[in-house]
């Protein structure tokens, strides 16, 4: 149970007064995550300063021509950023919140032999074993935190974000959307509930400026400028402005960190919204990404993928903000998402499609953080401005 207070002290007081057990805290947004009986939870509703009670909702995890279609390859080869470096993500970290990562995978190997993964963390909040609210913990940099039961989803996603240029046996080459970016991996494991994902977002909120610690220079471990979130509830749902997820992503936006969401894999005919709820947030710096199929042309003249979640046709507030290649993005060899022989093969498993498009966009967002104003004005999409709204019924 997520107990929202008018401030963190009010939430702590409510949990203590009702006898619930604290699991973790999101101090910056005034939320305490706690476990308790039905009677204790009911009693918390009437405690002073409690503004909202939120359940621990279950959620689920949902590359050659795509780099040409997004103009990523063109940008990396022809443009430089405001920092004078190639426009390939250098100087920026992307936080990938997912099942985990294999940091020793060759696709993440830099020319000097180091790994693109600068921080490797694991959320243990759902285990309820921590003796303090700090339950997103660093693990050894070489440790494979990805899970077989999760299908290697996190490694797949991270490769699309920032895979290094890698030659294939057939003479081709794979590369991620931002092949110079660094990766901060936060593993939530294979069983994903909203508390695990929100604890990862909260960690980014508290640590984005120095994800490896204050003593590590930014040249070695760049600040986080983007989070990728390739998960969500099946079948979409209503946008909830009072949820911890929305409060966290808005706080991140206030501090200059972009949050990217996969729109979902539920398709739809427009009669109702099936898009991922937090991606419907009208706040600037929060993006919902649909999937399109470039038909292997390397252009932006493809079609929206049939499985990509649609919003309600009569309600533009539910529509995805943009689309990115999601049908034939390629995975790192050895990750098991999709289920097929390891290697450079088209991603044909729908569980991976939602990841491909959002991570392609997450990799693209660094360009707006490191690029000159002329590039930003020509390539950045203008965010729809939607009026503030209460929870839809």
130-167 tens-digit pLDDT:
556 788 999 999 999 987 655 688 898 899 999 999 88
Collapsed DSSP state (helix, strand, coil) of residue 259: strand
Task: Name the more confident of 214 and 374.
Answer: 214
| pLDDT the model gives residue 339 | 34
Ramachandran sector of residue 280 (left: φ over 0; alpha: ψ -120 to 50; beta: rest): alpha
| Strands 258-262 vs 173-174: parallel, antiparallel or unpaired | unpaired
Q: What is the pLDDT of residues 162-185, one digit of tens each?
A: 999 988 787 777 888 899 999 999
The C-alpha angle with vertex 254 and arms to 229 and 153, in degrees rounded to 5, equals 10
| pLDDT the model gives residue 209 | 98
Model confidence at 7: pLDDT above 90: yes
> In this structure, are residues 245 and 278 in contact, taking their beta carbons and an 8 Å threshold?
yes
| Count of other CB atoms within 10 angstroms of residue 21 | 11
Q: Taking all residues of the chain, what is their mean pLDDT, rounded to a whole number?
A: 81
| pLDDT the model gives residue 217 | 97
| pLDDT the model gives residue 187 | 93
| pLDDT the model gives residue 127 | 75
Q: What is the mean pLDDT of residues 283-302?
A: 84
Ranges in the chain annotated CATH 3.40.50.200: 60-379
Give the Cα separation of 345 and 332 in Å (integer).
9
Share in percent of the chain as helix, strand, coil (round to 5): 30, 20, 50
Burial class (CB in 10 A: 0-12, 13-18, 19+), 142: exposed
Give the Cα separation of 329 and 160 in Å (integer).
8
> In this structure, are residues 286 and 277 in contact, taking their beta carbons and an 8 Å threshold?
no
Model confidence at 369: pLDDT above 50: no
Task: Name the more confident of 329 and 241.
Answer: 241
pLDDT bracket for residue 377 (50, 70, 90): very low
| pLDDT the model gives residue 361 | 58
| pLDDT the model gives residue 81 | 76
Q: Reply yes or no: is the peptide bond before residue 338 cis, omega within 30 of 0.
A: yes
Q: What is the pLDDT of residues 244-273, one digit of tens each?
A: 999 999 999 999 999 999 998 889 999 999
CATH, domain 60-379, list 3.40.190.10, 3.30.390.30, 3.40.309.10, 3.40.50.200: 3.40.50.200
Model confidence at 373: pLDDT above 90: no
Highest mean pLDDT among 74-78, 230-234, 300-304, 311-315: 311-315
Model confidence at 229: pLDDT above 90: yes
pLDDT bracket for residue 51 (50, 70, 90): very high
Task: Name the more confident of 85 and 230.
Answer: 230
**Strands in the chain per DSSP E:** 2-5, 21-26, 31-35, 50-54, 60-61, 93-98, 117-123, 136-138, 166-167, 173-174, 182-187, 224-229, 231-232, 258-262, 286-293, 303-304, 322-325
Q: What is the pLDDT of residues 63-116, one digit of tens each?
A: 444 556 566 667 777 777 777 777 889 999 999 999 899 999 999 999 999 999
Q: Give residue 25's Cα distance to chain centre.
A: 20
What are the backbone angles phi and psi of residue 357, rounded to the nearest 5°?
-75, -40
Collapsed DSSP state (helix, strand, coil) of residue 385: coil
């Amino acid at each position: 149970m997520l107990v929202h207070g008018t401030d963190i002290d009010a939430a702590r007081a409510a949990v203590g007064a009702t006898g619930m057990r604290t699991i973790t805290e999101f101090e910056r947004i005034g939320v305490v995550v706690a476990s308790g009986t039905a009677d204790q939870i009911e009693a918390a509703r009437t405690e002073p300063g409690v503004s909202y009670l939120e359940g621990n909702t279950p959620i689920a995890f949902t590359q050659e021509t795509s780099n040409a279609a997004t103009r990523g390859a063109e940008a990396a080869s022809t443009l430089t950023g405001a920092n004078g470096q190639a426009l390939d993500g250098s100087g920026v970290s992307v936080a990938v919140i997912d099942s985990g990562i294999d940091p020793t995978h060759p696709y993440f190997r830099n020319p000097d032999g180091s790994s693109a993964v600068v921080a490797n963390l694991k959320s243990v909040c759902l285990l309820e074993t921590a003796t303090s609210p700090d339950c997103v913990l660093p693990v050894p940099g070489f440790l494979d935190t990805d899970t077989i039961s999760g299908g290697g989803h996190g490694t797949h996603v991270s490769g699309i974000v920032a895979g290094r240029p890698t030659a294939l046996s057939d003479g081709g080459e794979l590369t991620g959307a931002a092949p110079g970016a660094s990766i901060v991996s936060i593993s939530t494991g294979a069983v994903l509930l909203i508390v695990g994902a929100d604890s990862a977002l909260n960690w980014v909120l508290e640590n984005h400026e120095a994800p490896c610690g204050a003593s590590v220079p930014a040249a070695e471990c760049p600040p986080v400028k983007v989070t990728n979130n390739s998960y969500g509830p099946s079948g979409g749902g209503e946008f909830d402005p009072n949820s911890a997820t929305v409060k966290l992503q808005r706080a991140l936006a206030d501090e200059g960190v972009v949050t990217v969401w996969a729109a979902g894999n539920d398709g739809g005919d427009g009669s109702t919204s099936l898009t991922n709820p937090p991606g419907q947030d009208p706040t600037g710096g929060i993006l919902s990404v649909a999937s399109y199929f470039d038909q292997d042309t390397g252009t932006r003249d493809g079609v929206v993928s049939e499985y990509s979640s649609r919003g309600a046709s009569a309600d533009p507030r539910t529509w995805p903000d943009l689309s990115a290649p999601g049908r034939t993005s390629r995975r790192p060899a050895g990750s098991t998402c999709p289920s097929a022989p390891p290697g450079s093969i088209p991603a044909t498993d729908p569980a991976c499609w939602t990841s491909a498009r959002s991570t392609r966009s997450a990799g693209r967002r660094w360009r707006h953080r490191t690029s000159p104003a002329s590039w930003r004005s020509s390539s950045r999409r203008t965010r729809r401005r939607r009026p503030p709204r209460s929870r839809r019924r």
